[in-house]
Amino acid sequence: MPARVAFVMKLNPGAAEEYRRRHDAAWPELLDLLKTYGIANYSIHLHEGTNQLFAILEADDPARLDALPEEPLMRRWWDHMRDIMETEPDGRPVQEPLVEMFHLP
């Protein structure tokens, strides 16, 4: 059974529409890469008052996700997004993991 993985990220002020536009046009090869890593049911939600993005996904093996930063295509996507969100020095989004406190199956 897949595991749920949740985390928060943060957009720069005024970047919500651009973030949506870029994700609406997400590269098919990027989506295929995520699926290759066993990711499904991936959604991202915006809290407009704080510009925080809440992301949740299902992963066949969450440990496999640790290798995603090594993928050139993933790094290219992060470079594409870094001007509109908080990022680490290496370009990946600042992600803070969330601990599941309740789940209604």
Residue 104 placed within a domain = no
| pLDDT at residue 1 in the model | 85
Residue-number span of the structural domain to which 73 is assigned: 3-97
Catalytic annotation, pick one of 23, 45, 80, 103: 23
- The tens-digit pLDDT sequence of the chain (105 residues) is 899 999 999 999 999 999 999 999 999 999 999 999 999 999 999 999 999 999 999 999 999 999 999 999 999 999 999 999 999 999 999 999 999 999 999
In sequence order, the 6+-apart residues with CB closer than 8 A to the CB of 8 are: 52, 53, 54, 55, 95, 96, 98
Q: Report yes or no on 69 lying in a domain.
A: yes
CATH for 65: 3.30.70.100
Is there a domain that residue 102 lies in? no
In a domain, 85, yes or no: yes
- Catalytic: 103? no
Does residue 83 belong to any structural domain of this protein?
yes
The structural domain count of the chain equals: 1
Tell me what pLDDT residue 94 has. 98
